[in-house]
Chain A
Amino acid sequence: MDIYLPIAGMSINFFLVIGIGGLVGFLSGLFGVGGGFLLTPLMMMIGIPPAVAAASDSNQIVAAASSGAFAHWRLGNVDFKMGLVILAGGITGGTIGVQLVKVLRAMGNFEFVMKVVYVLMLGLVGSAMFVESLRTIRRSRAAAADAGAPAVVATEGGLARLFSRLPLKMHFHRSGLHTSAIFPFSIGTTVGIMAALLGVGGGFIMVPAMIYIIGMPTIVAIGTDLFQIVLTSANVTLQQAFVNKTVDLLLALILLGGSTIGAQFGAMAGKRLKGEQIRILLAVIVLALTVKLFLDLVLTPADLVSLAPAKGGGH
């Protein structure tokens, strides 16, 4: 069964798209991460133009994150003040990012820059996760030694203290913190730019930053992250629709359908596996994707001449 995607301007197998949505949903349910960073590259691999893939993915993330955000809001896990500071950064970053996409597309190097950023980001996150989970597995094998805190936490605590010394101090009631607004705003901006460029939510960067660097409680970090993801991705979706006209609503809805169902199965599977096993599996997937994208950058491409978007529209 084929379906015609109006903005991508192509006909594609419906089950392939919903299957990819399902696969990413399964992984995100299993690992408890967003999965935007897997979805955009996979869509590019099946031939969706990169700019349409990123923009439609942002649209899908709005949907996928909103139900979680709503649930956490009802449980009182959202630090709105912190969320708004990060969001201010996220909206700034997203707006810059969308303009960056426009310029890069006109130059014909959007795909190149996107892949470079993906390789750097996935390579870093993947190897950090791999090393960390390997260490955890070794440590648990060595059985309970003494309960001494690992050295990593000490340096992270140091970072948190360093950033909290910056000016523009604010009191964040829900997180129980009195810290500078500069770091939350800048991490928001960074993730906002990445959201536009890559079509990701950025939770896998934001949540660790909130916990280890800002020093927020884990559950509040997750709730607040979801809150800001909904609004940052909504901003990116709006801007992509205005500026680049690359949001394919039909594609986003099919992906949403697939990922929702996949996530339910992923969450069930996740209960049967150990945390570090799951993390090492995710690390391997992420690293494999990194290698694939890196090869795209260095191997001689099959076509040296390609179409650049002359004006708006996905083709």
Chain B
Amino acid sequence: MKRLAIFLVALGLLSLWVPETWAISPEAQQKVVTAASKNLIEIGVSYRGDQIHFFGVNPCPGADLIIKLTAEKDEELKLSVKGRVGPFWMTVKQYDVKGAPFMYKIHATKPLKEIVSEETARDLELGYPSIRSKLKLHLARGAAAPDDEEKVFKGLLKIKEEANLYNVVEDPKRLEVAEGKLFKHYFRFPPAATEGRYLVESFCFINGELAAYGKDVVEIKKVGLEYWLTSTSQNQPVFFGVLAVLIAVGAGLLVGMIFRKGGHH
């Protein structure tokens, strides 16, 4: 009886060990050794986005490579859908969207569907269809229509691609592999990429099977004045509001003194 109990507990513990979300466990594969030109991006006053170069060694010569950049956390979004009301265009319904990565970029040596099966792509979240399958839409306001899911997903992609937060490039020129082994490429982080941790995962596939895996972490942080203004405005709004008014009054009076004339309001 006691032995059975111990056995059951051990079995329970073991089941916790097995990652439930991934059918294929990337961590268990051979390691892709990678290096990034930097792992920290600082948003300062003159920040206009940044780019990071990545280098890596592919342990399986000749394998197909896919590199994925995602934000560590998924975003909870609210999307407004415009429609015609009389002669005007205005928001007529809204969807709460869960499960969309804040940022999502793919670099691959050839088209994803030539590298991996649909199933593997979904398991490893490679490609837009895999994102679409894990999105959860909830109608927050308005009347649903049958093509809404398609419309909202396309709209989301457009917003993200225009902000350069999403893109998928299936081109060996963008992901150079020297002699089948050494690869290099860069990811651009646009100004819209906010603070947070971002993962860059390198996957090597041989005949559609995951053969090696590597991971880098990039962190984006606001620093100095930008950090101070953002954190104060979000965490101490009362202090920030009073400060904004006092600075404005001070600046206004100072300017008035400099030009020795009244203001222009």
Interface flag for B12 (CB, 8 Å)? no
Interface flag for B61 (CB, 8 Å)? no
Asked whether A305 lies within 8 Å of B156 as measured between CB atoms, the reply is yes
Instruction: Tell me which of A107-115, A129-137, A141-149 binds B.
Output: A107-115
Asked whether A230 lies within 8 Å of B191 as measured between CB atoms, the reply is no
Chain A 239-256, CB-CB to B under 8 Å as 1, else 0, gives 111100101011011001
Interface flag for B89 (CB, 8 Å)? yes
Instruction: Tell me which of A24-32, A88-96, A173-181, A280-288 binds B.
Output: A24-32
Interface flag for A238 (CB, 8 Å)? yes
Look across to chain B and name the residue whose beta carbon is closest to the beta carbon of A242.
B237
A30 to B156, CA, bound (A): 44
A315 to B193, CA, bound (A): 12
Chain B 69-83, CB-CB to A under 8 Å as 1, else 0, gives 000000011111111
Interface flag for B2 (CB, 8 Å)? no
Interface flag for A6 (CB, 8 Å)? yes
A202 to B25, CA, bound (A): 62
Look across to chain A and name the residue whose beta carbon is closest to the beta carbon of B226.
A6
Asked whether A66 lies within 8 Å of B252 as measured between CB atoms, the reply is yes
A11 to B47, CA, bound (A): 7
What's the nearest-Cβ distance from chain B to residue A157, in Å? 28
Interface flag for A226 (CB, 8 Å)? yes
Interface centre among B49, B234, B237, B242 (most CB of A within 10 A): B237
Q: A residues touching B (Cβ–Cβ < 8 Å)?
A: 1-4, 6-7, 9-11, 25, 28-29, 32-35, 59-72, 107-109, 112, 116, 201, 203, 226, 229-230, 234, 237-242, 245, 247, 249-250, 252-253, 256, 259-260, 263-264, 266-267, 297-301, 303-310, 312-313, 315
Q: B residues touching A (Cβ–Cβ < 8 Å)?
A: 43-49, 76-83, 87-91, 94, 141, 151-152, 154-156, 158-159, 191-192, 194, 222, 225-226, 229-230, 233-234, 237-238, 240-245, 247-249, 251-253, 255-257, 259, 261-265
